[in-house]
Amino acid sequence: MNDENLKLEDLLSAKSANEESDRIEYVAIIGAGLMGQGIAQTISSSGLDVLIIEQSEDIIKSAELALKKTMEREIARWAMTNSEMKSILSRIQWSTDLNLVAECDLVIEAIEENLEKKQNLFGQLGSIIKEECILVSNTSTLSLTKIAEATERRDNIIGVHFLNPVPKIPLVELVKGYETSEKTVEIMKCFAKVIGKTAVEVFEFPGFVTTRAIVPLLNEAMHILLEGIASAKDIDTAMKLGYNFQNGPLELADQMGLDRVLDWMENLWNALGEPRYRPCPILRKLVRERKLGLKTGEGFYKYGADGKIITEEIKQVIK
């Protein structure tokens, strides 16, 4: 065998080794809320093993039950089989031990939209994860570069914004921080394909594309309701039939979680100072009363055990 053949074999071997090291097979998700559950279901559905970390066993039990109920509703709609649900759940491990992420190839942060809490978490993760592990934030409005300041692993940090409901929305936004490497971006593009998502690259800016565009619509719909121009049902019907939306803005806000929507609005309002992001009083009232939408059974609408809207809608009065 001549020298040229030897060099070619070495190159092919090195390429194969690099591809092997870049492969993501074991994913950790920090946070078992609505988004964390949806991300876990999506990744597990693609055949990958998932570890979900939460703060307490009580939260884990509640999240496990909620995830199972969500999939059972899909089974009732003939959108999933019982065997598929069992297969998905079998690949999901639950724990309160953050140190278990040491074996993961990818760690996704899906905690509340709070910069300090995200920085504290990333600071902890930096000393636990293996060298090649990629750290992901699912932030919707915060600066990825600021989040990354908490760790020395800034080249391996990227934002991946999943939209709710995660298993049904075929899009993710890839947000590159100031020091995110091109290799990290390329690996996450491949990962997005593996889990059945189309990835769009966006520049780091509060709200990126999807959150920045949808928040003013949700806010305006809430003001229309507050001003008594139309009922929640009629506002949503007008937008669905008039603009071919799958869900009306108020129903969509309920599905996203009204506390989460309020966090987005407050972060955008604080960052940009533009009136269209200032939260409507009706939203603050509902969150204060812990009427957070679908996940609590009441928001702009009331919901039955099956997750469907109950015909009687709530009359909103600001006190």
Residue by residue, pLDDT tens for the chain (319 residues) are: 555 555 545 544 444 434 544 689 999 999 999 899 999 999 999 999 999 999 999 999 999 999 999 999 899 989 999 999 999 999 999 999 999 999 999 999 999 889 999 999 999 998 999 999 999 999 888 888 999 998 888 999 999 999 988 999 999 999 998 999 999 999 999 999 999 999 999 988 888 899 999 999 999 999 999 999 999 999 999 999 999 999 999 999 999 999 999 999 999 999 999 999 999 999 999 999 999 999 899 999 999 887 889 865 555 444 4
The set of long-range contacts for 157-163, using a CB threshold of 8 Å and a minimum separation of 24, is 157/122, 157/184, 158/134, 158/184, 158/185, 158/188, 159/204, 159/208, 160/108, 160/136, 160/188, 160/192, 161/208, 161/210, 161/211, 162/35, 162/38, 162/39, 162/42, 162/138, 163/210
Instruction: Considering only the C-alpha atoms of the chain, give the largest distance between any 2 of them, rounded to a whole number of Å.
Output: 85
Residue with tokens 């204060």: 288
236 φ, ψ (degrees, to nearest 5): -65, -40
* Cis peptide bond N-terminal to 165, omega within 30: yes
The domain made up of 6-202 has a fold known as Rossmann fold (3.40.50)
In tens, the pLDDT along 13-45 reads 444 434 544 689 999 999 999 899 999 999 999
Q: State how far the alpha carbon of 197 is from the alpha carbons of 7, 81, 262, in Å.
A: 37, 22, 26
Strand duo 134-137 + 157-162: pairing? parallel
Identify the pLDDT of residue 319: 43
Confirm whether pTM is higher than 0.85.
no
Where are the domains positioned within the chain? 6-202, 211-313
Pairwise CA distance, residues 249 & 232, whole Å: 9
Task: Tell me which DSSP letter residue 79 carries.
Answer: S
Residue with tokens 């990290």: 184
Pairwise CA distance, residues 193 & 318, whole Å: 45
Query: What is the enclosing helix (H) or strand (E) of 171?
Result: strand 171-176
Strand duo 171-176 + 157-162: pairing? antiparallel
Residue 126 CB: number of other CB atoms within 10 A? Answer: 18
Q: State how far the alpha carbon of 261 is from the alpha carbons of 47, 64, 258, in Å.
A: 31, 23, 5
Closest CA to 140 of 213, 245, 190: 213
Pairwise CA distance, residues 62 & 32, whole Å: 9
Residue with tokens 């409005």: 141
What is the homologous superfamily of the domain 211-313 according to CATH?
N-(1-d-carboxylethyl)-l-norvaline Dehydrogenase; domain 2 (1.10.1040.10)
